Amino acid sequence: MAELTALTIAEARDALARGDCSARELAEAHIAAIEAARDLNAFVVETPERALADADASDRRRAAGAAGAMDGVPVAIKDLFCTEGVRTTACSHILDGFVPPYESTVTARLRASGAVMLGKTNMDEFAMGSSNETSHYGPVRNPWHRRGDNRPMAPGGSSGGSAAAVAAKLCLGATGTDTGGSIRQPASFCGIVGMKPTYGRCSRWGIVAFASSLDQAGPMTRTVRDAAIMLGAMAGFDPKDSTSADLPVPDFEAALGRGVKGMRIGIPKEYRVDGMDPDIAALWDRGAAWLKEAGAELVEVSLPRTKYALPAYYIIAPAEASSNLSRYDGMRYGLRVEGRTPAEMYENTRAAGFGAEVRRRILIGSYVLSAGYYDAYYLKAQKVRTLIAGEFAAAFERCDAILTPTAPNAAFALGEMIDDPIAMYLNDVLTVPASLAGLPGISVPAGLNADGLPLGLQVLAPAFEDETVFRVAEVLEQAAGFELAPRGAG
Amino acid sequence: MSVDKSTVARIAQLARIRVPEEELDGLAGELDKILGWIEQLDEVDTDGVAPMTSNAEGMTLRWRRDEVTDGDRRDDILANAPEAQDGHFVVPRVVE
C-alpha cells in the first residue's frame, strides 16, 4: 500500500474498509506530516488530540459496522468555518481568541459522515484576498516553486492554507469557501482540484460571512472523485440558511465514469483576456482538444460582458462585506480596544482589528452604499449582474458545460503583487462571473507552465448541474495525467 | 467623481473605523484608483434591466413557526465576551 499520506480519499476509504489501515494510523501519519511542514504555515490551529479522538471513535464505528461515507478520512477545515470548542478567527485580529459555542452545518455534516478533523487552515483575512497574504497569521507558502528560483510562492487565496495542505499531503481533503474564486484559484495555483458547487448546495450557516449572496463552501482534494465524495458529505438542505436549496443531494460520485460523448462544450471567446499567460492559452486549447477526442462537440459561445463581471463584483462583494462586518464592534466577542464611549470603542477596535485589505473593502462598500452613490454604483452593479447571469443562461442553451482556464496567471512570488490591489483583483477575472451567476465551477490541474508551476482548467455548468461539472472534470483529469509533485515541498 | 481626503474621513466615520489623519491621503488615492477602475461599468447599457439581488432568486423564503429552537445558553455566549459581569456584557457608559 502507498504511504498513508499519499492516498486519495477513495483509496483511504477502501483501505479502511479492507482493514489495511486504521483511522488512527491515518490520523497519526497526517499529524506527523503537519508537524514536519510547519514552515508552509498552512495551519493556524492544529488539533492533534481531537484528530486522534475522532479517529478512535471512527475505528470503533467501523468495528461496529456503522461507518459513514467519510469515516476515518483526515481533513482540514478552513478557518472560516465555526468549529465548536476550536478557535475560529477567519484569520483576522478582530476575532482574536474567539471559540465558537456551535458548529457550522458543513463541518457538522462532515463529522456526521465520520471525517477526522486535523485542524484549521490559514486563509486571507475574512476570505478577502487572492494570495493568502492578508492573513493576520502571515502568508502560506505554496509547496511549489518556480524552476530554478527558490523564492517562496503564494498559494493563491483565499483558501490558500487548505490548498497548500492538500498539495503537500498534510490532509486528504480540505474545506474551502469561494466568494469570487477562493476555492478555484488556489486549487489552480497549488495543482489540486477545487470545486465550488452551485450557490445553495452547501449551507452557509456557521461560516463567517463575507458576501452572503456569493459565499459558497466546497471541497479541495487531489482528485475529481475525491471532490465528489467530499461534496456529498458537505452538501444538503439546511433550514438554518434561508438560501439553502431544498433539493436532494445527488450521488455525485455516481456521475463519474460516464464520459463526455455527445456533450456540447462551450468555449467563451471573451475569456481570452489581455495579459493571459500564453502557456495558459495553450493549455486551454489542449483541454478543448482532449474533450473533443473524448467525443464532445466544441461550440463557440459568447459571454460579451465578461470583462464587467470583476468591477461589478468589486461593488457587490465589498457592499455586502461592509454590512456583514459591522458586527465586529468589540462588545460581545473578539478584540476590544478601549474607548471612553461605545462609539470610540467601535472605532478603536475596528481600526486595530482589521487589516489593510479588509479596511479598504469596508470603506469601498460603505462608499458605494452611501447616500447619493447607491444608484450609481450598487444598483448599477446589480443590474450588470443580471446581464451576466442572463448571458450564461443564453450560452447554456447552446452547450452543456463551459471550459475556460481557472486564472489568467500561475502562482506568483509572495510580495510580488500585494502592493497593487487591482492587479491582485484580476486574479479572479475568470472565476468571478460564475460566482455572480451562482453557477457550479471546478478547477482541475491540467499541466505546468514554462516555470514548472501548475495550471488549472475550469469547468462551469448550469445551476444544480454539479454532476455535469464532475463528469467533464474527470475526463480532463484523465487526459491531463497531471502529477502532483511540488518541488521543494515541506 | 474623485475621492478626496474629506470623503475618506466621512466614510471611515460611517464605517466606524478610526483612520489616522496621516493615512487619509494615501487611502484616498487607493480608493480613487479602485473606484475609477470600477467606473468602466458606465459603458454597460442597463436601461430597463432589473437588479439581481441574490442567487436564490425564484426561491421563496420559507415560513417556520415562531418558536425557540435554541436557547438557554447565556454562559456559552458570554464565554467569548471581552468583559462580562453578572450575566451581562460590560460596555462603556452610554449616558453620562
Which of B14, B27, B44 has its CB closest to that of A366? B14
* Dihedral angle of Cα A22, A25, A30, A35, to the nearest 10 degrees: 160
Which of B27, B42, B50 has its CB closest to that of A386? B50
> Could you tell me what percent of chain A has a pLDDT over 90?
96
The answer to whether the Cβ–Cβ distance between B52 and A386 falls below 8 Å is: yes
Using the 8-state DSSP alphabet, how is residue A374 labeled?
A: I
| Shortest Cα–Cα distance, A460 to chain B (Å) | 16
The answer to whether the Cβ–Cβ distance between A200 and B56 falls below 8 Å is: yes
Low-confidence ranges of chain B (pLDDT < 50): none
Q: State how far the Cα of A183 lies from the Cα of A166, in Å rounded to an integer.
A: 12
Q: Is the pLDDT of residue A1 over 90?
A: no
| Shortest Cα–Cα distance, B71 to chain A (Å) | 12
Cα distances (angstroms) measured from residue A331 to each of A87, A91, A142, A343, A348: 18, 19, 37, 11, 12
Chain B residues whose CB is inside 8 A of the A103 CB are: none
Give me the total of CB pairs closer than 8 Å, taking one residue from chain A and one from chain B. 163
Per-residue pLDDT, B40: 96
Report the DSSP pairing between strands A173-178 and A74-78.
parallel
How many Cβ atoms are within 10 Å of A95's Cβ, its own excluded? 23
Residue B38 lies in a domain: yes
Which of B15, B51, B73 has its CB closest to that of A379? B51
Among A196, A363, A375, the strongest candidate for a mutation testing the B interface, having the largest count of B CBs within 10 A, is A363
Q: Is A314 on the interface with B (CB under 8 A)?
A: yes
At residue A41, what is the residue type?
N
Q: Is A361 on the interface with B (CB under 8 A)?
A: no
Which of B11, B39, B43 has its CB closest to that of A363? B11
The residues, ordered by sequence, that sit 6+ positions from B77 with a Cβ below 8 Å of its Cβ are A101, A332
Contact A154, A412 (CB under 8 A): yes
Which of A97, A386, A421 has its CB closest to that of B30? A421
Length of chain A counted residue by residue: 490
Among B1, B7, B17, the strongest candidate for a mutation testing the A interface, having the largest count of A CBs within 10 A, is B17
Interface predicted TM-score (ipTM) of this complex, two decimals: 0.95
Per-residue pLDDT, A490: 37
Q: Cell numbers 493571459 label which residue?
A: A276
C-alpha cell of residue A292: 473533443
- For the segment A6-21, the average pLDDT, to the nearest whole number, is 97
Q: Is A311 on the interface with B (CB under 8 A)?
A: yes
Per-residue pLDDT, B2: 81
Q: State how far the Cα of A160 lies from the Cα of A162, in Å rounded to an integer.
A: 5
- For the segment A241-254, the average pLDDT, to the nearest whole number, is 95
A447 backbone dihedrals φ, ψ, rounded to 5°: 170, -175
Nearest of A151, A122, A156 to residue A136 by alpha carbon: A122
The answer to whether the Cβ–Cβ distance between A242 and B30 falls below 8 Å is: no
| Shortest Cα–Cα distance, B29 to chain A (Å) | 11
List A45's β-bridge partners, or say none: A120
Q: Which of residues 410-469 of A touch B (CB under 8 A)?
A: 421-422, 436-438, 463
- Residue B17: domain span: 5-43
The answer to whether the Cβ–Cβ distance between A243 and B56 falls below 8 Å is: yes
Chain A residues whose CB is inside 8 A of the B44 CB are: 305, 308, 380, 383-384, 387
- Sign of dihedral through CA atoms A220, A203, B77, A138? positive
When computed from its CA atoms, the radius of gyration of chain A, rounded to whole angstroms, is: 21
Residue B85 lies in a domain: no
A142 backbone dihedrals φ, ψ, rounded to 5°: -65, 130
Among B4, B55, B90, the strongest candidate for a mutation testing the A interface, having the largest count of A CBs within 10 A, is B55
Strands of B1-96, DSSP E: 84-85, 88-89
Residue B25 lies in a domain: yes
Cα distances (angstroms) measured from residue A169 to each of A75, A155, B14, B57: 11, 14, 45, 39
Residue B15 lies in a domain: yes
Q: Is A362 on the interface with B (CB under 8 A)?
A: yes
- Element holding A353 (H helix, E strand): helix A342-353
The answer to whether the Cβ–Cβ distance between B34 and A370 falls below 8 Å is: no
CATH of residue B26's domain is 1.10.20
The answer to whether the Cβ–Cβ distance between B80 and A333 falls below 8 Å is: yes
Using the 8-state DSSP alphabet, how is residue B63 labeled?
A: P
Q: How many domains does chain B have?
A: 1
Q: State how far the Cα of A373 lies from the Cα of B39, in Å rounded to an integer.
A: 12
Determine the residue of chain A that is closest to B38 in CA distance: A311
What are the residue numbers of the active site of A? Answer: 78, 158, 182
CA A292 to the chain's CA centroid: 28
Q: State how far the Cα of A301 lies from the Cα of B56, in Å rounded to an integer.
A: 25
Mean pLDDT over all residues of chain A?
96
Burial class (CB in 10 A: 0-12, 13-18, 19+), B85: exposed
Q: Which residues of A317-343 are buried (b: 16+ CB within 10 A; e: fewer)?
A: bbbbbbbbbeebbbbbbbbbbebeebe
Chain B residues whose CB is inside 8 A of the A128 CB are: none
Q: State how far the Cα of A165 lies from the Cα of A484, in Å rounded to an integer.
A: 13
Q: Is A150 on the interface with B (CB under 8 A)?
A: no
Confidence grade of residue A489 (pLDDT, cut at 50, 70, 90): very low
The answer to whether the Cβ–Cβ distance between B37 and A422 falls below 8 Å is: yes
- How does pLDDT run across A33-82, given as a tens digit for each residue? 999 999 999 999 999 999 999 999 999 999 999 999 999 999 999 999 99
- How does pLDDT run across A127-167, given as a tens digit for each residue? 999 999 999 999 999 999 999 999 999 999 999 999 999 99
Cα angle A329, A335, A341; round to 5: 50
Q: Which of residues 202-261 of A touch B (CB under 8 A)?
A: 213-214, 239, 242-243, 245-246
The answer to whether the Cβ–Cβ distance between A344 and B17 falls below 8 Å is: no
Confidence grade of residue A371 (pLDDT, cut at 50, 70, 90): confident
List B84's β-bridge partners, or say none: B89
* Domain covering A4-239+246-258+471-480: architecture: Alpha-Beta Complex (3.90)
The answer to whether the Cβ–Cβ distance between B17 and A243 falls below 8 Å is: no
Cα distances (angstroms) measured from residue A393 to each of A82, A339, A347, A398, A439: 35, 52, 44, 9, 10
Q: Is A18 on the interface with B (CB under 8 A)?
A: no
Nearest of A135, A133, A130 to residue A182 by alpha carbon: A130
Determine the residue of chain A that is closest to B20 in CA distance: A351
